[in-house]
């Protein structure tokens, strides 16, 4: 799959691969990809979410090398088994074109540990569309979803900023930018080109 021509203009729309997309909702796509210049392809393990492709981020064989402009991964790499993370990151890197990037969010283990140390393991840390989120949810997965039988919500690994950067560099990304978010999470941009200008990507990891 590759960039597609916008039928309403002379622009060529770049492809953003939305892995772990979940049930469709426009707001789940990062605002950077909503300006009309991107074609979203939704991919998820759960066929009930009605994605464009059913599959895992550890196997992006449906996409050729260098055929995707961006990969958007919002709070799902923590659902992988630890040994699967390098596989997924190498797949992200493989499918990106030379100007591409992966935009990734995941819980910040260091920030969550601070809540635990302060005796706030089960206290609501913030509220999400799914309800209150606690440190325990961020460590092991959203308990209400898991309790209802949705085992795919379980967390199987965790990341600090330093570990996330190291794993992305080891996967072949020449440049990685990471910042800590407002909801005990990490935001990372992994750039496919070392010549990309950092300031051009700063807004991607700046929360409103």
Choose which CATH entry (3.30.530.20, 3.40.50.2300, 3.20.20.60, 3.40.50.150) describes domain 4-108+158-203.
Answer: 3.40.50.150
More confident residue, 139 or 3: 139
Q: Report pLDDT for 172.
A: 97
Biggest alpha carbon–alpha carbon distance for the chain: 57
Per-residue model confidence as pLDDT tens digits over 177-199 = 999 998 999 999 999 998 877 77
Cα separation, 104 vs 167, whole angstroms: 13
Structural domain boundaries in the chain: 4-108+158-203
Cα separation, 123 vs 108, whole angstroms: 17
pTM of the model: 0.90
* Cα R_g (the chain), whole angstroms: 17
Per-residue model confidence as pLDDT tens digits over 66-97 = 999 999 999 999 999 999 999 999 999 999 99
Q: Report pLDDT for 207.
A: 56
Residue 118 phi/psi, 5° resolution?
-90, 15
- How does residue 5 score in pLDDT terms, banded at 50, 70 and 90? very low
């Amino acid at each position: 799959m590759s960039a597609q021509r916008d039928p309403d203009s002379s622009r060529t729309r770049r492809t953003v691969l939305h892995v772990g997309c979940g049930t469709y909702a426009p707001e789940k796509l990062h605002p950077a990809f909503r300006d009309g210049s991107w074609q979203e392809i939704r991919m998820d393990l759960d066929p009930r979410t009605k994605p464009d492709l059913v599959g895992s981020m550890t196997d992006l064989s449906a996409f050729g090398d260098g055929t995707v402009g961006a990969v958007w991964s919002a709070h799902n790499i923590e659902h992988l088994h630890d040994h699967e993370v390098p596989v997924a990151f190498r797949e992200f890197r493989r499918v990106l074109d030379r100007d591409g990037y992966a935009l990734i969010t995941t819980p910040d283990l260091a920030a969550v540990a601070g809540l635990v140390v302060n005796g706030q393991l089960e206290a609501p840390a913030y509220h999400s569309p799914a309800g209150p989120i606690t440190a325990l949810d961020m460590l092991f997965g959203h308990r209400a979803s898991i309790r209802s039988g949705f085992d795919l919500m379980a967390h199987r690994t965790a990341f600090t900023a330093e570990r996330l950067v190291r794993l992305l560099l080891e996967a072949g990304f020449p440049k990685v930018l990471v910042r800590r978010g407002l909801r005990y999470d990490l935001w990372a941009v992994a750039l496919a080109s070392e010549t990309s200008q950092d300031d051009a990507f700063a807004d991607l990891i700046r929360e409103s």
